[in-house]
Amino acid sequence: MSIAPFEREVLGDRLGENDQVWFPRWLRRYAMGVRNGMVDDLPVNKDLVLKFSRSLLANGAPAWQRYQAVRAVECYRNLVLHRSEPDLSSIVTLEDRTLEN
């Protein structure tokens, strides 16, 4: 699957304007680390998402951006893969706690 179907899925009333703009960008960055930018059969698992979030941290991304990035992958998992697993809430919760500090 290319990024285009995901972009179409995030447009509309489902998400806020910022998420519509940034979710596809975050998914592209995730794909770069997972499949060298190839989005076909993009795997989503807890280890890969955690690695992605940690790479963003290592590159100086603030907590709110890492939180948004994980939410973007979660959105892809829900809307495109039509799955609710793996549960990424612990990663989102970890990012959320980081936001509070």
> Following DSSP, what letter does each residue of 35-79 receive, concatenated?
HTT--TT----HHHHHHHHHHHHHTT--HHHHHHHHHHHHHHHHH
The predicted model scores a pTM of: 0.82
Per-residue confidence (pLDDT) for residue 100, from 0 to 100: 43
Range of the domain at 25: 3-100
Structure tokens that stand for 94 in this block = 């970890």
Burial (CB < 10 A; 0-12, 13-18, 19+), residue 9, is middle
Closest by CA position to 46, among listed 88, 77, 97: 88
Tally of domains in the chain: 1
Q: How far apart are CA 50 and CA 93, in angstroms?
A: 12
Whether the per-residue pLDDT at 96 is higher than 70: the answer is: no
Whether the per-residue pLDDT at 40 is higher than 90: the answer is: no
Confidence class for position 37, pLDDT limits 50, 70, 90: low
CB 6 within 8 A of CB 76: yes
Per-residue confidence (pLDDT) for residue 14, from 0 to 100: 79
* Amino acid at position 30, single letter: Y
Whether the per-residue pLDDT at 78 is higher than 60: the answer is: yes
Whether the per-residue pLDDT at 49 is higher than 70: the answer is: yes
**Portion of the chain with pLDDT greater than 70, in percent:** 82
CB 96 within 8 A of CB 66: no
**Portion of the chain with pLDDT greater than 90, in percent:** 42
